[in-house]
């Protein structure tokens, strides 16, 4: 349970990190909080020759709010998000989801951007980025670029970040007060990744659903928007019948692989139950 | 393959340790092998069991998921720092003793450090919050109830 030997470099700025990545090519990996990368290295599932530690770059910590956008910088820790005072429904969803990331000691080291760059399809942040069409900002040798969440998660553990790019910050829409947000997870043990999770954000005006966003984790090689269920919600009244119909559609539109944690049918059933429960409640 | 060693200074329990480590050396291994502080135990070595929990800047972390080179410049606290020499036991240690919160003892150092972070924090946790935090670490002997009792008792003892 020891990682393969590697060289270690500390980057004091994003530019330095990018320069180091350019120098070492795809044999280098970026080290943020290390709560996903170091276990993978201990198992030797990841064997980078060089680690570029960006943990000391203080510019990459914290969040800010401007008009209708909340920007979270990549090294913001899960525990900082859990204790943050981001306003409105987005803040409620961020705080609740952060509390479901691993255990306290993991949340103290692990980072928002690190989790997204790790791209586990069951991760709370990958679900949230997908749910809310987050905009991922990366910096590379030819400058900054933005990757939309729908183009960011290519497959399991594979984000659309080039080997010489660093994820710097993520923009999320500050949801208005008409949004109801929720997250329901099913896991065997506290702190585990969910076997299936469903996150929802619906906007209700005059008792009519005007925007509907649903995202499921644990059913595909990336967090998946439940587009048919979303479409069925728009224009309807937020009633238990509406939610039940959307939940049925949600379970039919996913095609999960079964594994030892749960069969395909069990996961589809979880999507149905969790979608219904997620829509029926609200964190605000 | 080995890689060049780095000369680092670890601050552990208020003392500085000048050590030479490979970058791949975990903080847990550095504490045990290089600082000769063997109170910290290693269980799973991938962040699941919590046996190696130590405090870094007074926050609990998995010492198997922190590289020694990352801990440079941080204040590390281990079980050895809770009570030194002939000092009376730390209130958390005393409470673990009184409430029979250990059997084989392998997880104990990790639980003591996790419990110390809870006892030292400004918040008094609710019963559910305490359950959630203690779920961070695995104990295969006591079944957690006595550990919960011990932590509650230590919280009370230190707030009097």
Instruction: Kindly list the residues of chain B whose beta carbon comes within 8 Å of any beta carbon in chain A.
Output: 1-4, 6, 22-24, 26, 29, 44-47, 50, 53, 59-62, 64-67, 69-70, 114, 132-133, 135-136
Given the candidates 3.30.200.20, 3.40.1410.10, 3.30.43.10, 3.40.50.2300, the CATH classification of the domain at A7-53 is: 3.30.43.10
The β-bridge relationship of strands A224-225 and A179-186 is unpaired
Query: Which chain B residues are closer than 8 Å to A1 by Cβ?
Result: 44-46, 64
- Residue contact B60–A42, C-beta within 8 A: no
- Residue contact A5–B22, C-beta within 8 A: yes
ipTM score assigned to the predicted complex? 0.95
Mean pLDDT of B123-145: 92
List, by residue range, all CATH 3.30.465.10 domains of chain A: 62-173
pLDDT at residue B85 above 90?
A: no
Mean pLDDT of A86-105: 97
Q: Which two tokens stand for residue A71?
A: 């920007």
List, by residue range, all CATH 3.30.43.10 domains of chain A: 7-53
Given the candidates 2.60.120.200, 3.20.20.70, 3.40.50.1220, 3.30.465.10, the CATH classification of the domain at A62-173 is: 3.30.465.10
pLDDT at residue B155 above 70?
A: yes
Provide the CATH topology of domain B91-159: DNA polymerase; domain 1 (1.10.150)
Q: How far is A110 from chain B (nearest CA, A)?
A: 10
pLDDT at residue A221 above 80?
A: yes
Mean pLDDT of A246-265: 95
Q: For residues A187 and A267, is the Cβ–Cβ distance under 8 A? A: no
Mean pLDDT of A112-131: 97
Q: How far apart are CA B158 and CA B151, in angstroms?
A: 11
pLDDT tens-place string over residues B97-116:
999 999 999 999 999 999 99
Q: For residues B130 and B118, is the Cβ–Cβ distance under 8 A? A: yes
The model's pTM: 0.96
Alpha-carbon separation of residue A117 from A137, A140, A239 (angstroms): 11, 15, 37
Q: Which CATH architecture has domain B6-81?
A: Roll (3.10)
Mean pLDDT of A39-67: 96
């Amino acid at each position: 349970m020891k990682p393969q030997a590697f060289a270690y470099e500390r980057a004091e700025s994003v530019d330095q990190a990018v320069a180091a990545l350019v120098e070492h090519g795809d044999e280098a990996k970026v080290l943020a909080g290390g709560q996903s990368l170091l276990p993978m290295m201990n198992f030797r599932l990841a064997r980078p020759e060089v680690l570029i530690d960006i943990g000391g770059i203080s510019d990459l910590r914290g969040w800010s709010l401007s008009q209708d956008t909340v920007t979270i910088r990549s090294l913001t820790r899960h525990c900082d998000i859990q204790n943050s005072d981001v306003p409105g429904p987005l803040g409620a969803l961020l705080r609740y989801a952060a509390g479901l990331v691993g255990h306290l000691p993991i949340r103290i080291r692990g980072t928002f951007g690190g989790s997204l760059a790790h791209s586990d399809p069951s991760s709370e942040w990958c679900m949230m980025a997908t749910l809310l069409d987050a905009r991922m900002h990366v910096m590379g040798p030819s400058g900054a670029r933005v990757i939309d969440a729908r183009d960011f998660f290519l497959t399991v553990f594979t984000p659309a970040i080039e080997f010489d790019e660093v994820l710097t910050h993520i923009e999320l829409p500050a949801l208005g007060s008409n949004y109801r947000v929720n997250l329901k997870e099913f896991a065997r043990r506290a702190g585990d990744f969910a076997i299936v999770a469903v996150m929802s954000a619906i906007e209700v005006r005059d008792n009519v659903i005007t925007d509907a966003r649903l995202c499921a984790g644990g059913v595909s090689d990336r967090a998946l928007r439940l587009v048919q269920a979303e479409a069925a919600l728009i224009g309807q009244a937020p009633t238990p019948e509406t939610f039940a119909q959307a939940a049925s559609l949600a379970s039919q539109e996913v095609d999960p692989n079964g594994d030892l944690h749960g069969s395909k049918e069990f996961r589809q059933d979880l999507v149905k139950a969790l979608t219904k429960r997620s829509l029926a409640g609200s964190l605000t | 393959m080995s890689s060049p060693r780095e000369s680092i200074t670890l601050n552990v329990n208020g003392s500085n340790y000048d050590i030479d480590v490979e970058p791949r050396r975990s903080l847990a291994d550095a504490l045990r092998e290089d600082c000769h502080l063997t109170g910290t135990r290693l269980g799973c070595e991938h962040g699941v069991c919590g046996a190696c929990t130590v405090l870094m800047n007074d926050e609990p972390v998995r010492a198997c998921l922190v590289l020694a080179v990352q801990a440079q410049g941080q204040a590390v606290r281990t079980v050895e720092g809770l009570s030194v020499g002939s000092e009376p036991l730390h209130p958390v240690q005393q409470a673990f003793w009184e409430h029979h919160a250990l059997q084989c003892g392998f997880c104990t150092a990790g639980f003591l450090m996790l419990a110390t972070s809870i006892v030292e924090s400004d918040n008094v946790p609710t019963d559910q919050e305490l359950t959630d935090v203690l779920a961070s670490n695995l104990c295969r002997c006591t079944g957690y109830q006595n550990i919960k009792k011990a932590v509650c008792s230590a919280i009370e003892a230190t707030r009097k």
